[in-house]
Every structure is written in structure tokens, then in C-alpha cells.
Amino acid sequence: MKEYFRNIYQAIVTILIGMGVTLRHLFTRAVTIQYPHVKRELPPRSRQKLYVNMDDCIGCFQCARACPVDCITIETIKAGKDEDLGETSNGQKKRLHVITFDIDMSKCCYCADCVFPCPTECINMTPDYEFATYDRDDLLVHFSKYSAEEAEKLRERDRKEKEAKMKAAAEAAAKKKSEE
Amino acid sequence: MDATVAFFFDLVPVLADLPGWLSYTIIGAVLTVGAFLFIAVFALVGIWLERKISGHMQDRLGPMEVGGWHGWAQTIADTVKLLVKEDIIPEKSDKILFRFAPFLMFTASMAAFAALPWSAKFIPANLNVGLLYILSVSSLVVIGILMGGWASNNKWSLYGAMRSAAQMISYEIPVALSLIVALLLSGSLDMQEIVHSQAGGIFNWNVFGYFPLLSIAFIIYFIASLAEVNRTPFDLPEAESELVAGFMTEYSGMRWAFFMLAEYANMFVVSAIATTVFLGGWQPIAPFLDFIPGPFWFLGKALFLILIQMWLRWTLPRLRVDQLMYTTWKVLTPFSFALILLVSFIKVL
């Protein structure tokens, strides 16, 4: 009997305590934010979308090699002897035309392993997280400043140069053989 | 009905010149449409309020987008969506009962509005057994629920309906017994008589009669009425975390909306009964506040009780079936019997 009344008493008291808690929370500020209208500033080092500053890229492939999921595709062409491609902001000479620098953000795993090996600090992660697209192909980001025609022209030049070199090498080899 | 007819003749004198059958039909139709509109608007506001309150109690904001100011148009948009939704009826269900169940439930809860006293002059049907009438028609609701659950031919629905039947039949007893305690004081089943007997300020209300005996009766009624209308912590018939949606599992679109409408109408009805029987109905808190019209007090008190219902819903977890039965048979019913004995003993003395 004592147990019975104690149970009723405890039920009433605990319900009142619970109602007190909910009443207190009814008047506390909401912890949520109204997302598309209000955005939370992410810390500057947060790892979201990748960005490449192509003015500083020397086409060294360090980032592509470091990438664990192979989401970076780079294609380079050697600069000609009398061509000057300028210098990076930390004083390295650029010797290669970087005609392709594609990052597939749909593959990227946001590990930032590509950021650390870069000798010119041109690839880095930005706090920009709103890059959802309607088409998966739109997640393939092209960073290279060369247009398709320019890139094709350079490739053509490179192919010719290589052919010429091969020819010269073959001729040299044949000459050497005949001399012997 | 005579008082209501006189009220309408006062309001629109042209009605008195019409033949009796015509004026009665017009008054009846107007009252029905009025009650339906009231239920619809109340459900819209009530659901919005419930979502806002639940949001703020969980440190969220609730709906914020539709309509601009704090998402006030959210439930209107939801209603439009429900109206245009496809009406799905399961192939293996009992089609006639399945279609009929929401309307039976809604009719039962709407019928109770006929005997609610809104002010000294206005009560749609002034029956001399008003309270008994409301109690009997609102117990029809359980048949609607059982019908819907059985006709769905779905185990969740059937479980929900069975629980609902067990729960409602058990909780009718403390509801009726705790009301009897108040009736011992008021001495009438006529809703207006009950309200008139509580005239003269807050301390003459039944809830403070033989303090604290009637307060306990009020609390018993309030707890039992929560179970009557399937509100948390007694929402076992719906139990969305275990039974999908209980008896409403197979319903969609407008039929589901009618169940929802009936649920909110029931919430209002039980709060209105508590207001009438325990909280002085349309009587003001103090006699000098007489100039504020009766419907304001009636609605205000009923809405206050509904707010407490919502507050409880977002505070307490759902009871187990055995706990539910323990609460009614071992706590509420004995206590209300004891109260009846005590109060009648004191009254005889």
C-alpha cells in the first residue's frame, strides 16, 4: 500500500519536473539556424572544395601522385627553348605548359593529401561547400587556362618535336652503325 | 433547440416569417457548416501551433518558410496537398467500411459540438442531458477507429484499432466517474445549468469545490481525457514508432485528413467539457470582467487546456500497454470512486 502511494506521488512529481524542463526549453533560443538564409562561416582551414591557382602551378604532378583516389588529371607540354612562361610567386621558374588540370570533385575524398606536397602552394582546400550540381559531369572542374584549341596546338607541336627528335636519333644511330 | 431558434430569430428576424420546417432546416444547416468551419480552422491553427511548440521545446524553430511570418501558412499548404493527393484504397481491404470509417469518426466528434455552451445565450442544442449526450456520442469515435483498423486488412492497423478499443473502453470509466463528482456539486446534466451553478468568480468554479477534492477529480478527468483522444502519453493506437501509424496506416489523402480533423476536434471537445464542468464554462474569472463576451472565456479556457495537452505531449514518452491499464484500473478508477463517496458524504452532511 505504501509502495502504491509512493508510486503515484513519484509519478506526479517526475511529470511536473519534466514539464518544467520542457517549459524552460520552450523559451530558450533555438540552436538551429535557418540554413539557406543564414549560413555558418566555416573555419578557414576546413576541407571542402579544392582550388588551384594556375598562375603558380609548375605542372610537377606531385599532387596527382599523392591523390589516393586519382581524381587529379594533369597534362603538360614542355616549353620551347625561347619561350618564357614566367615565374611563380615564390620564385620558381615555370618550364611546362599545363594544358590540362582537371579535378573530379565527385571522386575527391577531401583528405588534403594533395595540398602538402605542392612546392608552390598553389593547390588548396577552400571552405566553399555549396557546389552541388544537377549533372555529375559538372563536378569535373577544369582549372587549366589553356583553351582546347591552344592545348591541341601545343600537343601537335610537341608531337612534331618528338618525331623530329626520334628521326634525328634514328639517323644518328644509323650513322654510328655505318661508321663502325 | 428552442433557445437557439430564438437566438437566430433575434439575429435574423426574416427567419421567423418563414414556415417552421424551412427556418429549422436553415438554422440547422448554418450551425452544421459553422461547426465544420470551426473544426477546420481550429485544426489548421492547432496543428501549426503544435508543430511550433514542439519545435521550440526541442530548441528548434518549427516551420518557418511557408507564408512568411513563422510559417503560418504551412498547414494550409499541407491541406491543399492532402486534397489533391491520390486516394489509395488497398485491394484486400473491406472497401465499404474502409471508406466509411473516417466519416463515422468525424461525425461522432462533430456531433459533440451540438451541446457545447458557448455563451449564456448561444448553445446549438440545449438538452437537459447535454453532458450525457456528449459522452455517448464521443464514445462512438472508438467504433470509427476500430472500423478503419479492421477494414484496412493490415496488422499494424488492427493492432492500433485493438489497442484503441481497449484503451477507450477502460478510460471512459474514470472520465464518467470524475464528471459525476462535479455533477454532485452542480446537480444537473444540462450544460447551461452546470455553467450557471459556477457563477461568481474563479473560486466558485467546480475545480475549487471542496478544495482539493474537486481539483483531484479535474486532474483525473484531464488524464483520462488525454487517453480518450489518443494523445501522448496515451497514443498507443497511433504509436508511430512501433505501429507505423496505427489504425491510420493505410489511409492517405483526404481520408487521412478526416482522421486528423476528428482527432483535433476531439481534443477541443474534451477540453470544452473540462471547461464547462470544472472551469466555469463561459463565466469570466471575476464577476467585474462580465463585459468580455462569453465565447472569449469559453474558447480561452479550452485553448489553455489544449496548450497543456500539447505541453504534455512533448514532455512525456508513450506508456506501455500494461502501464496504461494500470493507470486507469488501479489508480484513476479507485480514486474517482473514493472521490464520489467522499463528496457525496460531505454533501449529505
Tens of pLDDT along chain B (349 residues) come to 566 777 777 777 777 777 777 877 887 888 888 888 988 898 888 889 889 888 888 888 888 888 878 888 888 888 888 888 888 888 888 888 888 888 888 888 888 888 888 887 777 777 888 888 888 888 888 888 888 888 888 888 888 888 888 888 888 889 989 988 888 888 888 888 888 888 877 887 888 877 788 888 899 999 998 888 888 788 877 777 777 777 888 888 888 888 888 888 888 999 999 988 888 888 888 778 778 787 888 888 899 999 998 898 888 888 888 888 888 888 889 999 999 999 888 888 8
Q: Which residues of A78-102 are buried (b: 16+ CB within 10 A; e: fewer)?
A: ebeeeeeeeebeeeeebebbbbbbe
pLDDT band at A16, cuts 50/70/90?
Answer: very high
The predicted structure's pLDDT at residue A14? 92
User: Nearest C-alpha of chain B: how many angstroms from A43?
Assistant: 24
Residue B120: how many other CB atoms lie within 10 Å: 15
Are residues B162 and B231 in contact, defined by beta-carbon separation less than 8 angstroms? no
Helix (H) or strand (E) holding A140: strand A140-142
User: Nearest C-alpha of chain A: how many angstroms from B313?
Assistant: 10
Q: Is B96 at the interface with chain A, CB within 8 A?
A: no
User: Nearest C-alpha of chain A: how many angstroms from B220?
Assistant: 12
Average pLDDT over residues A161-180: 86
Residues of B in contact with A25 (CB under 8 A): 56-59
CA distance B20 to B16: 8
Does A81 score more than 80 pLDDT? no
CA distance B123 to A51: 73
Query: For A19-55, how does the pLDDT look when each residue is reduced to its tens digit (9 = 90+)?
Result: 999 999 888 888 888 888 888 888 888 888 888 888 8
Q: Is A20 at the interface with chain B, CB within 8 A?
A: no
User: Nearest C-alpha of chain A: how many angstroms from B334?
Assistant: 12
Grid-cell match 620564385, residue found: A91
Task: Residue B111: name the closest of B94, B130, B92 by CA.
Answer: B130
Closest residue in A to B60 (Cα) is A30
The predicted structure's pLDDT at residue B83? 87
Contact B311 A23 (CB under 8 A): yes
Residue A47: how many other CB atoms lie within 10 Å: 17
Are residues B101 and B147 in contact, defined by beta-carbon separation less than 8 angstroms? yes
Q: Is B316 at the interface with chain A, CB within 8 A?
A: yes
Average pLDDT over residues A101-120: 88
Residues of A in contact with B330 (CB under 8 A): 4
A35, A64, A96, A130 from A61: Cα distances, Å? 38, 5, 11, 27
The predicted structure's pLDDT at residue B285? 81
Q: Which of A8, A26, A32 shows the shortest C-beta gap to B57? A: A26
Task: Residue A135: name the closest of A111, A108, A105 by CA.
Answer: A105
The predicted structure's pLDDT at residue B248? 82
Beta bridge partners of A51: A124
Across the A/B interface, how many CB contacts are shorter than 8 Å? 38
Are residues B50 and B231 in contact, defined by beta-carbon separation less than 8 angstroms? no
| Contact residues, A window 138-167, toward B, CB-based 8 Å cutoff | none
| Contact residues, B window 30-89, toward A, CB-based 8 Å cutoff | 53, 55-61, 64
Q: Which of A4, A22, A29 shows the shortest C-beta gap to B57? A: A22
Phi-psi region of B165 (alpha: psi -120 to 50; beta: other; left: phi over 0): alpha
The predicted structure's pLDDT at residue A17? 93
Residues of B in contact with A30 (CB under 8 A): 55-56, 59-61
Q: Is B95 at the interface with chain A, CB within 8 A?
A: no
pLDDT band at A9, cuts 50/70/90?
Answer: very high
CA distance B254 to B81: 9
The predicted structure's pLDDT at residue A13? 93
The predicted structure's pLDDT at residue B1? 52
